[in-house]
Amino acid sequence: MMCEYIVDAMFILLREKNFENIRISEIADLAGVNRSTYYRHFHSRQDIARFYYQRLLERCLAEAHERRPDNEEYLRIIFRVFKKEKEKLLLLDRNNLSFLLLEIMNSYFFARKDNCSARSEIHFYYHVGGVFNAFLYWLHEDMKTSPEILARIALAALPPDFEPLLM
């Protein structure tokens, strides 16, 4: 719960100023925590964005696991969840922090890649890179394309034997 207060404080401040100009003391004060509590949960301001992206990815995957979707629905789920977070995602992107999502997506895979063949590993990187870059395109167009259309376009670019490896 404490982490969510800190994340919320960061987003409030991002509405007012650039990420580089936000001080940890401002985040802690707004979250109602002291600096030692902040540092118990986060080591840097970027860690707050990483935490946010991690939670966002967990929501996407939880919904996908629940539904057991086909490939197009799998992508639609991801983009629908992202769409609900449009304001926050655009704030992070405008502050050059979107690259942290790719880091989180890749780390999610590496935590689960036991006995993975080179082919599967390359397949994963291809998949994650494609989803991530479709996401970047979407952010840069202010998320105007619907999640359904974006999923259809992204699916058309995937190989015919595609299987969503994050599931």
The average pLDDT across 140-151 equals: 96
64 confidence band (pLDDT: 50, 70, 90): confident
Compute the distance between CA of residue 30 and CA of residue 24 in angstroms, rounded to an integer. 10
Name the nearest CA neighbour of 133 among 14, 125, 30: 125
Name the nearest CA neighbour of 57 among 87, 89, 27, 31: 89
Query: Domain limits of the chain?
Result: 1-43, 48-157
Check if the beta carbon of residue 64 is closer than 8 Å to that of residue 74.
Answer: yes
Task: Give tens-digit pLDDT for 119-145.
Answer: 777 777 877 888 899 999 999 999 999
Specify the pLDDT at position 7.
Answer: 98
| pTM of this structure | 0.90
Task: Give tens-digit pLDDT for 23-39.
Answer: 999 999 999 999 999 99
Task: State whether CATH 3.40.50.1100 applies to domain 1-43.
Answer: no
Side-chain-facing half-sphere of 12: CA atoms under 13 Å: 13
In whole angstroms, how far apart are CA 103 and each of 13, 57, 69, 108, 151? 24, 11, 25, 9, 21
